[in-house]
Amino acid sequence: MLLAVTAGWAQSDDVAPIIPTPVTKPSTPLFGYMSYDGVMQSLPEYVVVQRNLQQLRKQYESEMKRAEDDFNKKYEEFLDVQATYPKTILQKRQSELQEMLNRNIAFKQQSQQLLAQAEAEAKAPLEQRLAEALTKLGQQRGYAFILNTDQTSALWLNPALGEDVSNAVLQLLK
């Protein structure tokens, strides 16, 4: 019985051998590819957006530092005099410190949200312009698609079938 099973497997004809065929470059590339981040960061407007966001970030960081310093000063003062105050005053001061700490934490969270929102709003017009340029270029050149090569989105591309459109997109955005 073992021989019959082995013989059956050995005589299987339903598997075709895989023979690699050479890929010839089409007269027109089938797709485009580019680094989205690379193109975005090449735009002069992007530099302005980043500079403005950095200024805003510094303002928030400065305010958070001021609030932290105020808290630390009040906390140190509290530690210096806590032994001399009655229990009710200690509780009041502890409560004030806790409220101050909670406000500082809330401000930090809010500032992070506001920074993210400001970044999204500042980049939106650039992203819209880039999307429009990609659509126009894709339609002009008859691409099936344009791939983003950032962050391993495209692990491998056959350059014989597509072309890097980074420079063409930048030209459309000028």
Q: Write the pLDDT tens digit of every residue in 121-152.
A: 999 999 999 999 999 999 999 999 999 999 87
CB of 35 within 8 A of CB of 150? Answer: yes
Q: 154 falls in which pLDDT band (50, 70, 90)?
A: confident
Across residues 101-113, what is the average pLDDT?
97
Q: What is the dihedral of CA 80, 84, 87, 89, to 10 degrees?
A: -70
Q: 102 falls in which pLDDT band (50, 70, 90)?
A: very high
Asked if residue 42 belongs to a domain, the reply is yes
**Does pTM top 0.85 for this prediction?**
no
Rounded to an integer, what distance in angstroms lies between the CA atom of residue 30 and that of residue 24? Answer: 12
- What are the DSSP E strand ranges found in 3-157? 31-34, 145-148
Across residues 54-64, what is the average pLDDT?
97
Asked if residue 11 belongs to a domain, the reply is no
Please provide the average confidence, as pLDDT, over all residues in the chain. Answer: 88
Asked if residue 32 belongs to a domain, the reply is yes
Asked if residue 19 belongs to a domain, the reply is no
pLDDT at 26: 66
The token pair that represents 69 in the structure block: 């310093």
Rounded to an integer, what distance in angstroms lies between the CA atom of residue 154 and that of residue 10? Answer: 39
Backbone angles phi, psi at 8, to 5 degrees: -65, -40
- Residue 36 burial (CB count, 10 A): 19
Q: Structurally, how many domains does the chain consist of? A: 1
Asked if residue 17 belongs to a domain, the reply is no
Rounded to an integer, what distance in angstroms lies between the CA atom of residue 120 and that of residue 122? Answer: 6
Asked if residue 13 belongs to a domain, the reply is no
User: Quick one: residue 151, left, alpha or beta (phi over 0 = left, psi -120 to 50 = alpha)?
Assistant: left
Give the range of the structural domain holding residue 82, as residue numbers without chain letter. Answer: 27-173
Q: Is the pLDDT of residue 109 over 50?
A: yes
Q: Write the pLDDT tens digit of every residue in 3-48.
A: 444 444 445 556 666 665 555 666 778 899 999 999 999 999 999 9
Asked if residue 169 belongs to a domain, the reply is yes
Q: Is the pLDDT of residue 119 over 70?
A: yes
pLDDT at 7: 46
